[in-house]
Chains A and B, each alone.
Chain A
Amino acid sequence: MATNSEVTRRGSGAAAQQASGPAAQRTQATEAPIRPPVDIWEDKDGITLCADMPGVSKERLSLRVDGNNLIVEGQLQLELAQKAEALYADVRSSLYRRSFSLSGELETGKIEASLKDGVLTVRIPKRAELRPRKIEVQGS
């Protein structure tokens, strides 16, 4: 099995196949992480984040809170035939990465996440005492 990063690198344009040397090194050095597209929405109990990370299995996904930031990372892996070479590639990196800054009313210790068919869903609950309360207007 060739490693995935090999193919995504080789996928850096058909030119990379013929060109070894400086051009090939340049494409390797410029392998920037993919910024996965996300949907983010809020309801009264918390915030939900969905991210598209196709090719990432549970074992290759990392989700962590660093200070005030939520960092999502994943390693993309393709099942490749031996000695496969790239004919065409939209996806030219094997790393997904994106981070989000959280705010104080979110309960970072109770974040739940699931991964299904390449879609990561993260649920970030609000602190119970800080959920919006409806304030009754006292009438006479």
Chain B
Amino acid sequence: MFGIPSNMPSSAFDELWRLQQEVDELFGSWSSPLGIRSVPRGSFPAVNVGQTPERVDVYLFAPGIDPKSLEISMQQNLLTISGKRELKAGEEADYYRQERFGGEFRRVISLPEEVDPERVQAKYVDGIVQIGVQRRESARPRQIEIH
């Protein structure tokens, strides 16, 4: 940790934790500070965010939900998504595995500051909630012509 040699005894937990750090480092997330609203890896729903000079697109990997149950709101550049996922349970069934997430969820995503909270669109396709937010015109890169 921190590159400081240590002779502290290490437990199995420490080893796992270090492995997690190494994985994070491998994927490049270690060098950057942790977002204050970020959630641990594996939280439901997973989120990807893509950007272009014109817009920011947020993808929530939320399969099998009723899109009407979703609440999506934006305050400045903070996007909040909450909802509930109800899992269909088999009647008189014996479970071997229950790995899928069920219940209520909430995620807050901090978008670039210059997004326009008035221009947001959302849709649900193949279990992915896609939320597109336009950037403010004034914040977009402009080509300056030379006369």
Contacts and interface: CB of A to CB of B under 8 A. Distances in A.
Nearest to A120: B63
B94 A89 contact: no
B47 interface: yes
Given A55-B61, A55-B126, A119-B64, A89 B100 contact: no
B126 A83 contact: no
A57 B109 CA distance: 26
B41 interface: yes
A19 B46 CA distance: 24
A92 B127 CA distance: 17
A84 B135 CA distance: 14
Contacts of B128: 54-55, 78, 118
A57 B100 contact: no
Contacts of A27: 27
B14 interface: no
Contacts of B49: 86-89
Contacts of A56: 126-127
A84 B127 contact: no
Q: Which of B29, B65, B99, B127 has the most CB of A within 10 A?
A: B127
Contacts, number: 139
A57 B63 CA distance: 12
A91 B61 contact: yes
B27 A42 contact: no
A116 B127 CA distance: 8
Given A38-B100, A118-B128, 20 more contacts: A13-B27, A15-B28, A16-B28, A38-B97, A38-B99, A39-B98, A41-B90, A43-B92, A48-B93, A52-B64, A54-B62, A54-B126, A78-B59, A80-B50, A81-B57, A90-B41, A90-B46, A91-B46, A118-B61, A119-B64
Interface of A: 7-8, 11-16, 19, 27, 30, 37-44, 48, 50, 52-57, 77-92, 116-119
Interface of B: 26-29, 31-32, 41, 45-52, 54-57, 59, 61-65, 87-88, 90-101, 109, 112, 124-128, 130
